[in-house]
Structure 1
Amino acid sequence: MSRPHPIPSALALALAAVLPALAAPAAAQSTTTLDQVIVTGTRAADRTVLESTSPVDVLTAEDIRRAGVVNGELGSALQALLPSINFPRQSNSGGADHVRAAQLRGLSPDQVLVLVNGKRRHTSALVSTGSKIGRGTTPVDYNAIPVSAIKRIEVLRDGAGAQYGSDAVAGVVNVILDDGADGGALEASYGLHHTDVEPIGRTLSDGQTSFLSGKVGTALGADGFLRVGLELKNREATNRAGYDQVPPWDQTDANLAVQGRRNYHLGDGDSKDLNAWFNTEIALGADATLYGFGTFNQRDTEGANYYRYPEGDANWPQVYPDGYRPVSVGENRDVGVVAGVRGRWGAWDYDASLNHGRNDFTYRLRDSLNASLGPSSPTRFRTGDYAFEQTLANLDLSRGFESGDAFHSLAVGAEFRAEHYETGAGDPASYAIGPYTDRPAGSQAGGGLTPQDEADLDRDVASAYATVSSRFGEKFSTDLSARYERYQDFGGQFTGKLAARYEFAPAFALRGAVSSNFRAPALAQVGYESTSTGYNAAGQIVEGRLLSVNNPIARALGATDLDPEKSVNLSLGFTSRIGERFDLSLDLFQIEIDDRIALSEAITGDALTDFVEANFDVARIESAQFFVNAADTRTRGAELVANWRDELAGGRLLLTAAWSYAKTELENVVATPAQLAALDPDYIVFGVEESNTLTDAAPRTRAQFSAGWDNDRWSLLARLQRHGSAKRVFNFGGGYEPEQVYGAEWQLDAEAEYRISERWSVAIGGQNLTDEYPDLSNEDIYYFGNLPYDVLSPVGSNGAYWYGRVRYTF
């Protein structure tokens, strides 16, 4: 149930009312100014935010710190600060409970390119198959990047494949690391959720989170530096599950004995993180610099799964007399290291680098069971190992030159990238088919990868590019880029981009861009396979396989080789800057994507089981899925950003309003293969559930209004967000396709920081202060009272969060 909605005017009045009492001599504003030079989206060395030919957001370290990121989650900070980014909290979503995915402009998480210091970041090794947002993708793990390492972030909201390479369909997120030889900081914070949980009629305090970070720099020679940092994070679980009403098909006497309990889990799992990072430069004579940087993340997480009732095929009462709820355990190790040399060679600037990134993920289960093994089954399993690594070699050359009254920046370069993806089988007990053949085989809540599921794939990618950024006088500027990229397994592809900006009147300008972009299927989408025993959308246990498109069973069901995704992006924008106080940008965009890659619908039923057993001698497959080029889509949207800066009560005031809208529609949808239709005319390869994933599972609109004020003692911030509506659709079979639209929700965040001295500061704050929740799910979706909230809404289902922070700088 929604609570009263705060309004922006009341927020601004409340802030203005307290400012005079806190007045003191003004300090420099910490927020990004429009005069800051950007490095993302252009090769020109003097472009600023409003002068860019494509929309670019710049977030400083202070912006990120004041986003209330006391839990060290970079993804959460990006969602709080940028309406165009969606970073929902998943639960009961398989691997997405451990690695959360972010969207830009409502597109898939793997359609945005992430850079660190301008160098390509590797993706996660884990395929999100149980999630809604990011289903079927291997996203970049934003939360593996230490927030204390960040100097600023530049987000390019436009296609940039010709400039930076494949995957930059929706845009680019470029994380710039902290540098410098002097100073450092120590920070400690603690917070928790304190909330009224309507479905159970109780007030809960949970999700206790502690975060410690430290960083320091030192000089190396006359012009060099080394900066290092460390973070420790610990988050305890939250739970918003309701009271169990027990599904009708499970209502035996033993199962009804657990009715009315909170048997399920809905919320965050426990999480423990260790992050480390470094950034360094060393002068090599007068014209060259050796540089290096790297990040390390070790994260142990827990995820939620459906409860297994005391009396049922999935349980042995001798082991779990009261039933059990399996807990997934993720062991995630993420490493990224870059080393290079940059300098000047005659008239040219050069940058040569080597870049290596690797993600290893081990998936485990505890409090589980392989029912087919009987009462002697283990209760802990290792269900699989996943690894992805990429190694890149880059050479970039650039120079500037004049031609008449125009100045041009030319950049050319080449890149070689090697990728490797590998999966390893789980414990034999996690996939064994035991002597009790009337019971489901494999560990409950995710059967282990079998030896036949293992994947080991490699590919090489080579590319060359050229970019010219030009300024013709004071009013007109352009960026022209072209790239040729050749994949070992998908051939070559040209991409290009033309962007321009024209200042048609003092303080007013138009900008626009057209680009083509390219994304090859991830190695995981080509080769990943898994065998599982779990609950389907209707809440019934099924044994299923996710098949690679090369698997003979998938081929017999109509799977074909995957094609790359290709897009054409169009944008048109207006920017204005009036004096030093007011600036505004409005950008319209359209993104046409052909051959969007998605998971097929789950193919279930006796026809599938009988066909697979008869033709491949594989018994008991009740569900099958594989990747397909599902549809062509068109995304249209608009983004607005406005800022007002002024002096107020002896300090500086910054008011910001931002709004984002993105609507995705299906154009051409893949036809159900004849092989599949021949098994059962009701089978479809791409239907309502996966269409919902691509089109309206994420909010089409998000908006934000923030007010910040600083002087030499106080920093005050209030942020009001509006998360638009989202839609959930299920296919329970037999034509039963329940759906629900979850209405828009408001979220109020605030923080007050006081600088005790030049070095010490303390802060208190909160997120979702009015304790907002999404709409309660209806009876068709809430799974018999157990899962009262859906995971779609960005407001989450954890309620209000309160925190305190202490910071020491030196």
Structure 2
Amino acid sequence: MNPPRMSVFSRLSLISAAVASTLAAPALAQTVTPQAPAATGTAQAVDTVVVTGTRSRDRTSLNTPVPVDVLSAEDLRNAAGSNGELGSALSALLPSFNFQRQSNSGGADHVRSAQLRGMSPDQVLVLINGKRRHTAAVVNLESKVGKGTNPVDFNAIPVSAIKRVEVLRDGAGAQYGSDAVAGVINIILDDARTGGEIEASYGAFRTKFDPTGKTITDGQNTQLRGKLGWALGDAGFVRAGAEIGAANPTNRAGRDEIPFFENQTPPNLALQGQRNYRAGEPKVDNAALWLNSAYDWAPDLKVYGFSTLTRRETEGAAFFRYPDSSANVPAVYPNGYLPRTTGTSTDFALTGGAKGASTLSGGEWLWDASFGYGRNSFDYGLTNSANPSLGAATPRSFNLGNFTFEQATLNLDASRELNLGLAKPALFATGIELRRDGFSTSAGDAAAYATGPVTSSPAQSQGALALQPGDAIDVRRSVYGVFADLSADVSRELFVQGALRADRYSDFGSAVTGKLAARYAFTPAVALRGAVSSNFRAPSLAQENFSFTVTDFGTGGALASIRTLPANGRIARALGAPELKAEKSDNWSLGLTANPSRALRASLDVYEIRVKDRITLSERFSSTQLTNFIATNFGVAGVQGVNFFTNAVDTKTRGADLVITWTDRIAGGQARVSAASSYAKTELSNFKPVPAQLAALGVSGNLVGLEEQNTLTTAAPLTKHVLTAGWTGAQWGGTLRATRHGKATRVFDFGGGFTPTQQYDAKWQFDLEGEYRINKQFSVALGAVNIGDTYPTRSIADISYFGNFPYDVVSPIGFNGAYYYARVRYAF
């Protein structure tokens, strides 16, 4: 343990505790400017002021120089159905947002990754009330989408806490720092001074499952949410809420054909045709608390604070272990067993600060000072498992290790108007950011990796492997950033914005980014907008230092132990792995907006994102020489394959986003229709070859092989279209949404030229919700997601893992079928 490092976080924790105690006093406020009310539905009121991507105080969703989507609380409530997931709601509403479900994917069963504009999950920056959100601690190593990332956990943010979400679809590194390569998602919390609501929902999947010919009802999901606001006189407010929920797992496994590499013995063959595996949604139990508060301490001084606390327990599935197998202990599991992974995620965030106005150097400065602390802890485990080498003495449950990520951030921003003789005063903004990041892991149970007396069986827990003492790490880094931003209406028609930022990271160096954006209005109804920017993403602490072993597909498709080596570790360096560098990107976008009437608006934006030195997991490398080299030189035996994080390739993503919305009064109610489409295609170049050290051990090719190329380019759909129609009257309301999920491709590389590949066809999904307001307080809603019970293309035999997984996780429509729900709300 490093005492100086720990003392830094101890001091930050004390500061956090002090801020937390302040929350009990009527002296807190949120960090965004007052907003005009938004219309219900995806078509927002035309005068909605946005605060993401600009520090001007008069930019609306119609006149920003870059595209910004604004989603209301009502949008999110309807889109989330009854499962309460923020990620699912954003995916339903935003064509450029991808939130594919995972199964049998280790940590990804418990924390799902999201993509914006086809980029990696860690290339989108998430803010809460304009302040940087911390990432999850778990590192997804067995997933497809988001492989090798520790993304922000969107589902740790309560949906009931949200007033609206602003999604900036453009690079914003010069304004916010690292990670804002694809864009920024700013989640603005509910700030209502009075009133509240209680909401309960229940839903379940009901589907005809063709692979077994059965009708299945499962995935029962119950959610309860409540929130309340208190006005603190005329000076402030406190808004707080709570959520609890529980969801049963789903199972869409097919009938087992028994893998050919398993023993073809009577005990194993007796299971042929049964559903021995589990594929689908995990079991979930969650609880959340949140708070948002503000108080005008003085005429020119406001203090504020907000916080979220979420605890989620989840249970995923691993691969079945057959009765007559070296991985089984017949005395414990005479009929074989299905290991289940478990995860407990505890997520805490707290931000407090003050903002006000001060006169300095002959001008009035608006300033905002804040301190934020975020922490995510993930406890990874196994149940219904075994370490076969221990025989009948094996435990059935294991702790696999603990992962923790901490982030402490201090911000000071200031802005003032400058009279430059233009159409309006220009706005100059500047600020500094000091941040401290920490990532640590601890070892799991010794019994999970102990070598027992049964030498013919593997000496490791089955279903997932534990962190060993040599894998445990505790690393820190400091980040210092400074920015300047100038925006002005040069004329009545032309708005221009420029930003410059410099960041320094204690572990890898510095980065300087810039951005220039402009909007030119040909007429009050038609405008051209565009931006050019440079951006960067620093390698995460996990990517630099993380060490873990997973059970993944090896040669011929059989399961094997694949060790992810820390890029800065001794083994990776001995194999020639280069030191990680920051990703650097150049972004440009060009768009046309039209607002021919108050009811109708449209925008078309095209863009290109070029990323140099893209960080990804290398391909899995394996050879007998490699296994022997690691055992001989580092004393680590049984490593059947390795990979590591590396700047292995450059990427170019080109795309376009089209959004058309119409809203008007019809039949005594508010009607709204929208059509939104997204296209993003990624190409790879500048492949790095395997280092000479690896080549000498019988490994050939590039650092990024077929599977990782597939992850970066075609595993996510290139297109997505969302058509929505809704109407809200005095008592009745309803929404119909049609979504076309584009094609996706899955590629495996099992070695020896065996590379099964399949394209999953585009599919239409239809969602429907109707709501009836009994009176001003009570409302009841009924709805269905995927009401057509549509499934993806069936996987080919080489990908379905011997009939057990008839549908693949890469298809964004999912493979759970139709979901039906009911929701009751009481507002007061």
TM-score, with length taken from structure 2: 0.93
**Would the aligned equivalents of 1:743 and 1:774 in 2 still touch at CA under 8 Å?**
yes
The one of 697, 700, 711 aligned to 1:693 = 711
**2:145 is matched with which residue?**
133
**1:436 is matched with which residue?**
454
Q: Can you list the C-alpha shifts for 1:397-432, whole angstroms capped at 9, x where unaligned?
A: 011233222321111000000001000000110121
Partners of 1:663 and 1:533 lie apart in 2 by: 31
- Which SS does the other structure have where 1:175 is aligned? strand
**1:516 is matched with which residue?**
534
Structure 2's unaligned 5+ residue stretches are 1-37
Partners of 1:467 and 1:688 lie apart in 2 by: 42
Partners of 1:535 and 1:507 lie apart in 2 by: 56
The one of 192, 197, 206 aligned to 2:204 = 192
Q: 1:608 to 1:716 in 2, by over 3 A?
A: same
1:41 aligns with 2:41: no
**2:374 is matched with which residue?**
357
Aligned residues: 784
Q: 1:225 to 1:509 in 2, by over 3 A?
A: same
The one of 335, 359, 364 aligned to 1:322 = 335
- Residue 489 of structure 1 and its aligned partner are, at CA, apart by 1.0
Code of the residue aligned with 1:616 in structure 2: it is F
**1:332 is matched with which residue?**
345
**Would the aligned equivalents of 1:440 and 1:543 in 2 still touch at CA under 8 Å?**
no
Q: Can you list the C-alpha shifts for 1:489-518, whole angstroms capped at 9, x where unaligned?
A: 111111000000001133111000000001
The one of 799, 804, 807 aligned to 1:786 = 804
- Residue 539 of structure 1 and its aligned partner are, at CA, apart by 4.1
- Residue 535 of structure 1 and its aligned partner are, at CA, apart by 4.9
**1:453 is matched with which residue?**
471
Alignment of 1:521-670 (within 5 A): 521-533=539-551, 535-536=553-554, 538-670=556-688
- Residue 29 of structure 1 and its aligned partner are, at CA, apart by 4.8
The one of 117, 120, 134 aligned to 2:132 = 120
**Would the aligned equivalents of 1:348 and 1:399 in 2 still touch at CA under 8 Å?**
yes
- Residue 180 of structure 1 and its aligned partner are, at CA, apart by 2.4
Code of the residue aligned with 1:387 in structure 2: it is T
Code of the residue aligned with 2:549 in structure 1: it is T
Partners of 1:487 and 1:226 lie apart in 2 by: 37
Q: Can you list the C-alpha shifts for 1:720-774, whole angstroms capped at 9, x where unaligned?
A: 0000000000001111001000000100001111111011100101100000111
- Which SS does the other structure have where 2:712 is aligned? helix
Q: 1:204 to 1:472 in 2, by over 3 A?
A: same
- Residue 472 of structure 1 and its aligned partner are, at CA, apart by 2.4
Q: 1:758 to 1:736 in 2, by over 3 A?
A: same
- Residue 538 of structure 1 and its aligned partner are, at CA, apart by 4.5
- Which SS does the other structure have where 2:804 is aligned? coil
The one of 150, 173, 177 aligned to 2:189 = 177
1:266 aligns with 2:279: yes
Code of the residue aligned with 1:706 in structure 2: it is T
**Would the aligned equivalents of 2:660 and 2:674 in 1 still touch at CA under 8 Å?**
yes
1:401 aligns with 2:401: no
1:370 aligns with 2:370: no
**1:92 is matched with which residue?**
104
Partners of 2:118 and 2:251 lie apart in 1 by: 28
Partners of 1:62 and 1:515 lie apart in 2 by: 33
Partners of 2:383 and 2:554 lie apart in 1 by: 21
- Which SS does the other structure have where 1:578 is aligned? coil
**Would the aligned equivalents of 1:442 and 1:532 in 2 still touch at CA under 8 Å?**
no
**Would the aligned equivalents of 2:690 and 2:699 in 1 still touch at CA under 8 Å?**
no
Partners of 1:600 and 1:386 lie apart in 2 by: 22
1:770 aligns with 2:788: yes
The one of 132, 157, 167 aligned to 1:145 = 157
Partners of 1:440 and 1:748 lie apart in 2 by: 47
Code of the residue aligned with 1:317 in structure 2: it is P
Q: Can you list the C-alpha shifts for 1:290-348, whole angstroms capped at 9, x where unaligned?
A: 10000010000011111011111111111111111100000100000000001111201
- Which SS does the other structure have where 2:292 is aligned? strand
Percent identity between the aligned chains?
A: 53
Partners of 2:805 and 2:485 lie apart in 1 by: 51
**Would the aligned equivalents of 2:622 and 2:699 in 1 still touch at CA under 8 Å?**
no
Q: Can you list the C-alpha shifts for 1:508-529, whole angstroms capped at 9, x where unaligned?
A: 1100000000111000101110
- Residue 681 of structure 1 and its aligned partner are, at CA, apart by 4.6
- Which SS does the other structure have where 2:396 is aligned? coil
- Residue 433 of structure 1 and its aligned partner are, at CA, apart by 2.1
Code of the residue aligned with 1:213 in structure 2: it is R
Code of the residue aligned with 1:35 in structure 2: it is D
Partners of 2:144 and 2:554 lie apart in 1 by: 14
- Residue 544 of structure 1 and its aligned partner are, at CA, apart by 3.2
**1:740 is matched with which residue?**
758
**Would the aligned equivalents of 1:441 and 1:533 in 2 still touch at CA under 8 Å?**
no
Partners of 2:761 and 2:629 lie apart in 1 by: 43
- Which SS does the other structure have where 2:44 is aligned? coil
**Would the aligned equivalents of 1:221 and 1:283 in 2 still touch at CA under 8 Å?**
no
**2:500 is matched with which residue?**
482
The one of 150, 153, 156 aligned to 2:168 = 156
603-612 vs 775-784, which deviates more? 603-612
Partners of 2:112 and 2:648 lie apart in 1 by: 23
- Residue 683 of structure 1 and its aligned partner are, at CA, apart by 5.8
1:412 aligns with 2:430: yes
**Would the aligned equivalents of 1:676 and 1:684 in 2 still touch at CA under 8 Å?**
no
- Residue 471 of structure 1 and its aligned partner are, at CA, apart by 1.2
400-409 vs 316-325, which deviates more? 400-409
**1:65 is matched with which residue?**
77
Partners of 1:555 and 1:437 lie apart in 2 by: 32
**Would the aligned equivalents of 1:642 and 1:657 in 2 still touch at CA under 8 Å?**
yes
1:761 aligns with 2:773: no
Code of the residue aligned with 2:418 in structure 1: it is F
**2:23 is matched with which residue?**
none
Partners of 1:548 and 1:685 lie apart in 2 by: 15
- Which SS does the other structure have where 1:96 is aligned? helix
Structure 1's unaligned 5+ residue stretches are 1-26
- Residue 222 of structure 1 and its aligned partner are, at CA, apart by 2.5
The one of 232, 235, 242 aligned to 2:254 = 242
Partners of 1:560 and 1:75 lie apart in 2 by: 35
**Would the aligned equivalents of 1:98 and 1:302 in 2 still touch at CA under 8 Å?**
yes
Partners of 2:538 and 2:555 lie apart in 1 by: 30
**Would the aligned equivalents of 1:774 and 1:793 in 2 still touch at CA under 8 Å?**
yes
**Would the aligned equivalents of 1:302 and 1:328 in 2 still touch at CA under 8 Å?**
yes
**2:66 is matched with which residue?**
54
**1:5 is matched with which residue?**
none
TM-score, with length taken from structure 1: 0.95
**1:280 is matched with which residue?**
293
Q: 1:166 to 1:122 in 2, by over 3 A?
A: same
1:106 aligns with 2:118: yes
Q: Over aligned residues, Cα RMSD in angstroms?
A: 1.3
Code of the residue aligned with 1:231 in structure 2: it is E
Partners of 1:504 and 1:369 lie apart in 2 by: 69
Partners of 1:350 and 1:53 lie apart in 2 by: 24
Partners of 1:652 and 1:620 lie apart in 2 by: 65
- Which SS does the other structure have where 1:75 is aligned? helix
